[in-house]
Amino acid sequence: MEEKMKAALNYNKALLQSKELYQYILDTSVYPNEPEPLKELREISASHPSYWMGTAPDAGQLMGILLKLINAKKTIEIGVFTGYSLLLTALTIPEDGKIIAVDVNREAYEMGFPIIKKAGVEHKVDFIKSEALQALDDLMANLDNEGSFDFAFVDADKVNYLNYHEKLMKLVRVGGLVVYDNTLWRGTVAMPEDAVGEKYKEGRKLLLEFNNLVANDARVQICHASIGDGMTICWRLH
Ligand code: SAM
Ligand code: CA
């Protein structure tokens, strides 16, 4: 291939290269539009030892718009933690909407729950303390649930992302969305294995496999957004 053509194809069109630029987005567009209860939950979650697990607020903003665009009413959340993405969803879906929220651990959720309650949206949340695979199997056991969900957000153990995907392809309707978080795994998916720190190696391997499979899955149209730690948006086509 001609050198000029190669340079054009490799030209880096991605802008986000600095912390300052990220802060600019948060300060200009995200924080001024973040609903008060979400801001409160984000601030309380900062005191949790695993504070880094909370969904990035700019990624949350994208999720909010996706939920609105598809008129999501019935949703699934896998991986709740203190409930940032859960509260965001609860504030966005209609009054009679429902979220099946699954987490193996209830402790962190207890931290966010008073804010969810104060925001007046707890009636939309059905929290299930369970392994997510089990909870999805239980949902699938009721045939009425097949293709009945509008939206799912997956933000739990990466080792099961492909298993969740298979089950969610049955539970989420055609035209619905499944969003997977952390699919760029701190950028390690693009690093040679020996340059990756021990604690990221396993996740990197799992996400490389997940990203390849989902990019070649004809059931979905995807957008691999470089927002937060990477978010893959899958729109179910058939
Ligand atoms: N979406 C959350 C938010 O916005 O704050 C963050 C979720 S956090 C990154 C991951 C959560 O997944 C943890 O609370 C953890 O307990 C839960 N989790 C991990 N493995 C799980 C599993 N196998 N089944 C259900 N939940 C799981
Ligand atoms: Ca996450």
Q: Residue 101's domain is classified under what CATH number?
A: 3.40.50.150
Q: What is the mean pLDDT of residues 152-164?
A: 98
Residue 10 lies in a domain: no
**Ligand 1 pocket, residue 163 CB under 6 Å:** no
Query: Where in the chain does DSSP place strands (E)?
Result: 74-78, 98-103, 125-129, 149-154, 172-181, 220-225, 231-236
Does the pLDDT value for residue 17 go beyond 80? no
In the numeric block, the tokens 């035209």 are attached to 175
**Ligand 1 pocket, residue 84 CB under 6 Å:** yes
Q: What is the pLDDT of residues 215-237, one digit of tens each?
A: 999 999 999 999 999 999 999 99
Residue 56 lies in a domain: yes
**Ligand 1 pocket, residue 157 CB under 6 Å:** yes
| pTM score above 0.90 | yes
Contacts (Cβ under 8 Å, ≥6 apart) of 57: 26, 30, 31, 34, 38, 42, 84
Q: What is the pLDDT of residues 98-136, one digit of tens each?
A: 999 999 999 999 999 999 999 999 999 999 999 999 999
Count: domains in the chain: 1
Does the pLDDT value for residue 6 go beyond 90? no
Label residue 171 by pLDDT band (50, 70, 90).
very high
Label residue 13 by pLDDT band (50, 70, 90).
confident
Residue 6 lies in a domain: no
Residue 66 lies in a domain: yes
Which element (helix H / strand E) includes 53? none
- For residue 63, give its domain range: 17-236
Half-sphere exposure of 103 (CA within 13 A, CB side): 21
Q: What pLDDT shows up at residue 16?
A: 74
Residue 188 lies in a domain: yes
Residue 5 lies in a domain: no
Residue 3 lies in a domain: no
**Ligand 1 pocket, residue 136 CB under 6 Å:** no
Q: ipTM more than 0.95? A: yes
Distance 154 CA to ligand 1 centre (A): 9
Residue 7 lies in a domain: no
CA distance 106 to 86: 13
Label residue 2 by pLDDT band (50, 70, 90).
confident
Which protein residues have a CB closer than 5 Å to ligand 2 (ion)?
A: 155, 181-182
